[in-house]
Amino acid sequence: MHHLQRLFAHLQWADEQVLAALRAATSAPEGAVQLYAHVLASEHNWLARLAGTAQMDVVPTLSLHACEELARDNHARFGALVASLASADLDHVVAYRRRDGQAQERRLEDILLHVALHAMYHRGQAATLLRQAGETPNVTDYITWSGEVP
């Protein structure tokens, strides 16, 4: 379980690094903000699938303030979820519907790993867009984070 707690602690830190870079940018590229909003909406939607609640648009138009609020909620909910899990819970099969309505089933551990890896992928895209706009993105690598925490 420890590995998932660390991954989600990293996810929170890295999301905060992206938000800080977007706020610091003289002119944050709209695409970078959209990617960040997509990451947060995807995190929200996985939580909604797990809880059986309503999902949001997967590519929402959000202000940085709205992103910050959504991120705070997502991180609190994922932190509580991951902290509450026993090892046996990770093999629990979750039934859900994809955005196109297709029924799916996946192990909870695979869903949680997907959430963390999906965010890493899009943070890299946002960093590229920031660099192309002449801005300096913050480092979000796991290895950097791991050197800053006990």
Say how many C-beta atoms besides its own lie within 10 A of residue 138's C-beta: 17
Q: Is the pLDDT of residue 13 over 70?
A: yes
pTM of the model: 0.93
d(CA 90, CA 110): 8
d(CA 16, CA 146): 15
Instruction: Kindly report the backbone phi and psi dihedral angles of residue 104, in degrees, each rounded to the nearest multiple of 5, phi listed first.
Output: -135, 160
pLDDT, mean over the chain = 95
Q: Is the pLDDT of residue 129 over 70?
A: yes
DSSP letter, residue 89: G
The DSSP element (H or E) to which 103 belongs, if any, is: strand 103-107
Q: Is the pLDDT of residue 69 over 90?
A: yes
Residue 49: name the closest of 4, 102, 1, 87 by CA: 102
Domain segments of the chain: what residues? Answer: 2-143
Both tokens of residue 68?
């910050």
* Architecture of the structural domain at 2-143: Up-down Bundle (1.20)
Read off the pLDDT of each residue in 115-137 and give the average, rounded to a whole number: 95
d(CA 78, CA 126): 22
